Structure 1
């Protein structure tokens, strides 16, 4: 497994493939992504994980676990990005 900047060669290839598809919109905020922006721009594209790989390491290199996101949206999601609440309680306990 060859790594650079913490990402494997397969992870970089998966992200490049997703970027080439130019899918819209951002999966987190619903706004359009400008795929021409430089990588250091907060509005730039990143390949975000649907289920955070920190919690689901077996999905780290799975291309079906990727979604298009703005850099700022993906970074603000954090490790619990794939977590959802299981509904609301009917009253305060």
Structure 2
């Protein structure tokens, strides 16, 4: 079966490469005092990424919808672990709170 042109073979987000990405995001965030990209609150960059208030890598554009951007540093932003975990996959194109008018 031929592969679709839309299919992209992207390495999984894990291992040394993901750990290096986290170090890069934490270093830049610490240096620039970047708040959480999701809640806009400060991040304590000294906390481990396993802590709910610790820094994790948030993919600005969903890995599921934009797999080719998974390993692109321009698609990474710091986020609290708790915010990142509750953000979901980004599959819903609607912004939260947007409602349709009755037709």
TM range (shorter): 0.7 to 0.9
Instruction: Find runs of 4+ consecutive structure 1 residues off by over 4 angstroms.
Output: none
Aligned residues of 1:52 and 1:82 also touching (Cα < 8 A): no
Q: 1:8 to 1:17 in 2, by over 3 A?
A: same
Q: 1:78 to 1:41 in 2, by over 3 A?
A: same
Query: Is 1:15 the counterpart of 2:38 in the alignment?
Result: no
Query: Is 1:77 the counterpart of 2:87 in the alignment?
Result: yes
Q: Decide which of 17, 31, 56 is 1:46's aligned counterpart.
A: 56
Instruction: Provide, for residues 20-59 of structure 1, a one-character-per-residue CA deviation record: whole Å limited to 9, x for no partner.
Output: 1114211100100001112221000001100111121101
Q: Secondary structure at the match of 1:33?
A: coil
RMSD: 2.6
Aligned residues of 1:19 and 1:35 also touching (Cα < 8 A): yes
| Higher strand residue share | 1
- Can you give the 5+ residue segments of structure 1 that lack an aligned partner in the other structure? none
Query: Is 1:56 the counterpart of 2:66 in the alignment?
Result: yes
Measure the CA separation in 1 of the matches of 2:69 and 2:82. Answer: 22
Which structure has the bigger radius of gyration?
2
- Can you give the 5+ residue segments of structure 2 that lack an aligned partner in the other structure? 1-9
TM-score, L = length of structure 1: 0.78
